[in-house]
């Protein structure tokens, strides 16, 4: 395996918010999901599912319900005396949270309940941890699959952008629109398409700032 080629894929990936109108064939999408499904997961529980939306009207509906929820949040904040923050929410965060609106594909990433023989036979009988911990287990593995997906997409010349705006603002409305079962968590949405832009490489913390060795 060529490490330098892999490193170029990792370093070259960008969050893309402007896409061409070129269609992304389902065969190409399935190919990147073939990489996503090989992400690691706790006890191979594979706690991930994906909803792929290619219908432009549905994508626009998700954009609108996100804006609707955002305006409601802004109005509530303003009524409590946070006028400046309300304006920033609308003007700054709004466009950032709905940058998927013109993407040819929108992927909704779900985390399914964590189930394994260890949980059933050992963890739950002794009440090893609180129920909320198991919800976190599903999210962790789902995020690993999402990263595989985005790196695979970049390697194939596609652009992606992971976003949590619709989840933070309008998870219940998104769940209703897409008929997502209550036991499944909405993790994030990922815009997918052929990039119309090539954003510059943003600065990252140095390795020495993020790593501590215990020798």
The DSSP result for 181-211, as a single string, is -TTSEEEEEEEEE-BS--PPPPP---HHHH-
The pLDDT, as a whole number, for residue 116 is: 86
The total number of structural domains that make up the chain: 1
Is 215 in contact with 43 (CB distance < 8 Å)?
no
At 71, which helix (H) or strand (E)? helix 56-79
The β-bridge partners of 163 are 189
> Is 134 contained in some domain?
yes
Q: In sequence order, what are the residues at sequence separation of 6 or more whose Cβ sits closer than 8 angstroms to the Cβ of residue 66?
A: 97, 98, 165, 166, 169, 170
Residue 203 lies in a domain: no
Which among 135, 185, 145 is positioned nearest to 44, based on CA atoms?
A: 145
- Residues 6 or more apart whose CB falls under 8 angstroms from that of 67 comprise 94, 98
Tell me 129's DSSP state: S
Assigned domain for 3 exists: no
Give the whole-number percent of the chain exceeding pLDDT 70: 100
pTM: 0.94
pLDDT at 164: 95
Does residue 67 fall inside a structural domain? no
Q: What is the pLDDT of residue 133?
A: 86
131 within domain boundaries: yes
pLDDT tens digits, one per residue of 34-47: 999 999 998 899 99
**Whole-number Å distance between alpha carbons of 185 and 141:** 12
**pLDDT values of the chain reduced to their tens digit, one per residue, 215 residues:** 799 999 999 999 999 999 999 999 999 999 999 999 999 998 899 999 999 999 999 999 999 999 999 999 999 999 999 999 999 999 999 999 999 999 999 999 999 999 888 888 998 899 998 888 888 889 999 999 999 999 999 999 999 999 999 999 999 999 999 999 999 999 999 999 999 998 998 999 999 999 999 99
- Closest-CA residue to 186 (of 196, 174, 202, 203): 174
Residue pointed to by tokens 């090893």: 128
In a domain, 164, yes or no: yes
User: Residue 15, Cα to own-chain centre: how many angstroms?
Assistant: 11
User: Domain of 108?
Assistant: 16-54+100-197
Q: What are phi and psi of 199, to 5 degrees?
A: -60, 150
3-state secondary structure of 160: strand
Res 92: pLDDT: 93
**pLDDT per position as a tens digit, 4-45:** 999 999 999 999 999 999 999 999 999 999 999 999 998 899
> Is there a domain that residue 174 lies in?
yes
| 90 in a structural domain | no
181: CATH:
3.40.109.10
């Amino acid at each position: 395996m060529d490490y330098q080629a892999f490193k170029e894929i990792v370093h070259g990936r960008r969050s893309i918010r402007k896409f061409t109108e070129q269609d992304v064939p389902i065969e190409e999408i399935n190919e990147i999901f073939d990489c996503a499904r090989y992400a690691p997961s706790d006890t191979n529980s594979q706690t991930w599912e994906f909803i792929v939306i290619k219908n432009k009207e549905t994508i626009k509906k998700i954009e609108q319900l996100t804006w609707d929820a955002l305006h409601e949040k802004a109005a509530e904040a303003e009524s409590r005396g946070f006028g400046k923050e309300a304006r920033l929410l609308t003007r700054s965060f709004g466009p950032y949270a709905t940058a998927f609106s013109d993407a040819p594909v929108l992927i909704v990433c779900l985390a399914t309940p964590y189930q394994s023989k260890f949980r059933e036979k050992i963890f739950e009988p002794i009440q090893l941890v609180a129920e909320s911990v198991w919800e976190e287990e599903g999210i962790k593995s789902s995020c690993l699959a999402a990263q595989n997906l985005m790196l695979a997409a970049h390697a194939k010349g596609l652009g992606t952008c992971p976003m949590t705006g619709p989840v933070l603002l309008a998870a219940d409305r998104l769940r209703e629109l897409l008929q997502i079962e209550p036991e499944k968590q909405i993790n994030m949405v990922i815009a997918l398409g052929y990039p119309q832009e090539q954003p510059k490489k943003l600065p990252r913390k140095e390795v020495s700032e993020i790593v501590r060795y215990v020798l």
